[in-house]
Amino acid sequence: MSQNNPPGSEPHFIEIGDADDIPLPLPIFVTRQGVDRSHDDAMRKVLQADPAYAAELRVVLTTEGATDELAILDRYTSGERLQRLEAVDFARASVGLEGFKPSVEDEELARAFMEGEITLDEFIKRSIEST
C-alpha cells in the first residue's frame, strides 16, 4: 500500500458474477498526477518498452488475420520502427561507402532489429558473433 493513499483506496480488481454484484457508483481509477493517461499513450509505452512482446503480438495477429488489430499495433509502434529503419538504412549506406555488402545473415539480423524482434544490444552481439 502506498503511503499517499488511505487504507482501502488501493486499486484492485472487482470480480463480477451477476449484474447486481457491480458496486455503485462505479470506481474510477486515477493516476497520482490526478489525470488518467490515454489508452494510446499507455499502449505505446508498453509496446515500445518491450519490442519482443510487440513482435510476438504482431505474429499472433498476422496468423489470425486480424487486420484491424494489426493497423492499431502499427499505430502504436510506427515511431520506434521508423527509428530502427533509419538506423539500419544509415548502417547500410555506411557499409556500402566502405565498399562492403551486408551478408544474408546480416540482412536477417537487420530485419529482426527493424521489426523489434531483437534489441540493439542483441543485434550488435549477434553481428559480432557472426564475423
State pLDDT tens for residues 57-82.
Answer: 888 988 998 888 888 887 777 777 77
CA atoms of 74 and 66, how far apart (whole Å) = 12
pLDDT (0 to 100) of residue 12: 57
Give me the percent of the chain exceeding a pLDDT of 70. Answer: 70
Percentages helix, strand, coil for the chain, rounded to the nearest 5? 60, 0, 40
Q: In this model, does residue 42 exceed pLDDT 90?
A: no
What's this model's pTM, rounded to 2 decimal places? 0.45
Residue 68, domain member (yes or no): yes
Confidence of residue 100 (pLDDT cuts 50, 70, 90): very high
Structural domains of the chain, count: 1
Crossing angle (nearest 10°) for helices 39-49 and 67-97:
40
What gap in Å lies between CA 131 and CA 127, rounded to an integer?
A: 7
Task: Give the per-residue pLDDT at 97.
Answer: 92
- Per the domain annotation, does 13 fall within a domain? no
Range of the domain at 93: 37-130
The answer to whether residue 31 is domain-embedded is: no
Tell me what pLDDT residue 93 has. 92
Q: Has residue 21 been placed in a domain?
A: no
Q: Does some domain include residue 16?
A: no
